[in-house]
């Protein structure tokens, strides 16, 4: 069986990049991610009927985002910590 192809898009994060979460009372929530250069907008939406796979995807996304945030913070603080210990 041949390997599956995976499409990957890499966009450098700029200062004006961001993420937003919008919850609605009568419809599924939205997660919006944007970057300014090159311009990119990703909106994650769900169908009106949410199934277990949607919940698993959302939890996996949250876990990955938390791990990413931890690593970014670690790299940001590393130079400061080196100065303190020197």
Q: How confident is the model at residue 86 (pLDDT cuts 50, 70, 90)?
A: low
Distances (CA, A) of 38 to 9, 24, 50, 80: 11, 30, 33, 31
14: exposed, middle or buried (Cβ count in 10 Å: 0-12, 13-18, 19+): exposed
Who wins on pLDDT, 54 or 80? 54
pLDDT score for 10: 81
Residue 45 in this model has a pLDDT that exceeds 70: yes
Tokens of 50: 């949410």
Residue for token digits 């009927």? 49
């Amino acid at each position: 069986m041949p390997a599956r192809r995976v499409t990957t898009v890499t966009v450098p994060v700029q200062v004006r990049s961001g993420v937003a979460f919008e919850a609605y009372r009568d419809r599924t929530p939205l997660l919006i991610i944007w970057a300014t250069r090159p311009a990119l907008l990703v909106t994650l939406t769900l169908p009106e009927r949410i199934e277990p796979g949607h919940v698993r995807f959302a939890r996996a996304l949250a876990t990955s985002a938390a791990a990413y945030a931890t690593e970014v913070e670690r790299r940001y603080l590393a130079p400061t910590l080196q100065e303190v210990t020197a």
